[in-house]
Structure 1
Amino acid sequence: MPDRPAYLRIADTLREGIRDGSLPPGTRLPTMAELCAAHGVSEIVVRQAVALLRTEGLVETRRGGGTVVRVVPPARRVAMERYRAVTRPLAVPETTFTRDQKISWQEYRLDKEFTRVRADDDLGALFELPTGTELLRRRFVFYARGEPQQISVNYLPWSLVGGTPVADPEREPWPGGTLAQLAYLGHPPTRVEESVRSRMPTPEEAETLRMGGGVPVIAITRRMLSRASVMEVCRDIVLPADRVVLDYSIDL
């Protein structure tokens, strides 16, 4: 077997150091000159090795700060039971997000953008409504302790929310979130459906969520139903894949 290319061997060595803890998160990698001297290769080869680690989401290059091992926050666990909990009376303001993040209402921030749109074919099928039905589109960016953690784009029928406080962005964040809003409108959710897939983030998503290169996102399409009627569609809930674990349980 031919020898592995030099850049792969260098990447293997650095990757092993990251994984065994000898290069802990936040540690600056050796300089280009140091790596070139240590491995007897040109700068081009070292750059290839570092670029590979960057695409794997293990390191990031900071302007004026060199290349450092990425600091990845502990993954939070997200379970379907989070929807059930919001149906009980709230002693303090909270949502599924604040409970997932274990943060107080004061540590929670929500950026929002509301627009009126028409359902495309896909949204019409999800809502089981005709294409062109008028909807309220709400784009949210969720922050925990000042750090962006999640993007959600959800839709509600305009015939349901038009002229109500739910269509007013100044009322956000709303304690209890969308579940509480639907209950307020007289249509408490009785069923939640989620479809989960993974993909690479768009440039806008990666910038908004301050993601490192090479990290995919989990994209969740959600429907909330009240009996047989679809009240809300979220397309999508976008989460950095290295920050979340999805927990699902089924009673048999």
Structure 2
Amino acid sequence: MPKPAYIRIADELRKGIRDGAHPPGSRLPTLAVLAAEHGVSEIVARQAVAVLRGEGLVETRRGGGTVVRIRPPVRRVAMERYRVETGPLTAPATSFTHDQRIGWSEYRLDREYRGVRADAELAALFALPAGTDLLRRRFVFWARGEPQQISVNYLPWDLVGGTPVADPEREPWPGGTPAQLSYLGHPPTRVEEAVRARMPTPEEVETLRMAGGTPVVTITRRMFSGDRVLEVCRDIVIPADRVVLDYSLDL
């Protein structure tokens, strides 16, 4: 069975994007041009463009036509990145600045702090009773002027209340959360991460300036000091087209 016309047009445009005939940042032909070239209506041409938009390959700008998306640099993330934060720092840095290969002056961290009580899921992650007082910190991480990830982490209030760690004006903190736990006298000894993938929420799409059709990778993290869970991150959210997760296992 022959493919519908809009699929054939989308296939041709996709091939042009991948082989460089339509490079990142360039405009696709207008709907009128596509319709004339392929002998179809503009409605069919619009359907073809919608397929590519849903795949995250193009974006439509008001007054600017349909443009091939500029792919952001892919960031490689490995568990070993936390060694940057737990070892001696010769210059201000965090695992994020290390991953992004940026200096401290290129790093920006938006933050929002508030007290909450642990719901059933957080209580289970912390191995604490439901209703335990926690500090909730929501961060948006920026590199080179672009938002790259969202992180929402929780710390026990009895650990951080009244300390500089609970002061948003102290952020960004060189060494990140591991350095903060060490400052409090509880250096982290183990990190656990669980990785999932899903479609983003509308708020995440807006905050991270994501193209339609792009999923996110979410990482739920727990930091231990000895046997005690001192931090839960639920979640780290990164657009899936901006990250490669690297994991190694010594055997």
TM-score range, shorter chain: over 0.9
The offset of 1:76, in angstroms, is 1.1
TM-score of the aligned structures, taking structure 2 as reference length: 0.99
Q: SS of 1:86's equivalent? A: helix
**Could you give the per-residue CA deviations for residues 137-192 of structure 1, whole angstroms, max 9, x where no partner exists?**
00000000110001000000000000000000000000000000000001100000
Give the 5 Å matches for 1:112-127.
Answer: 112-127=111-126
Give unpaired runs (5+ residues) of structure 1: none
Alpha-carbon contact 2:187-2:225 (below 8 Å) kept: yes
Residues in 1 aligned to 2:86 and 2:151: alpha-carbon distance in whole angstroms? 21
Give the 5 Å matches for 1:151-190.
Answer: 151-190=150-189
Task: Name 1:36's counterpart in structure 2.
Answer: 35
The offset of 1:74, in angstroms, is 2.2
**Could you give the per-residue CA deviations for residues 87-140 of structure 1, whole angstroms, max 9, x where no partner exists?**
111111111101111111110000000000000000000000011000000000
Give unpaired runs (5+ residues) of structure 2: none
Number of matched pairs:
251
Task: Name 2:57's counterpart in structure 1.
Answer: 58
Task: Name 1:213's counterpart in structure 2.
Answer: 212
Residues in 1 aligned to 2:55 and 2:32: alpha-carbon distance in whole angstroms? 23
What stretches of structure 1 move > 6 A for 4+ residues in a row? none
- The sequence identity of aligned pairs, in percent, is 77
Residues in 1 aligned to 2:142 and 2:72: alpha-carbon distance in whole angstroms? 14
Coordinate RMSD, CA, aligned? 0.6
Alpha-carbon contact 2:139-2:151 (below 8 Å) kept: yes
Task: Name 1:231's counterpart in structure 2.
Answer: 230
**Could you give the per-residue CA deviations for residues 62-101 of structure 1, whole angstroms, max 9, x where no partner exists?**
1111001100022111110011222111111111101111
TM-score of the aligned structures, taking structure 1 as reference length: 0.99
Q: SS of 2:128's equivalent? A: coil
Give the 5 Å matches for 1:183-198.
Answer: 183-198=182-197
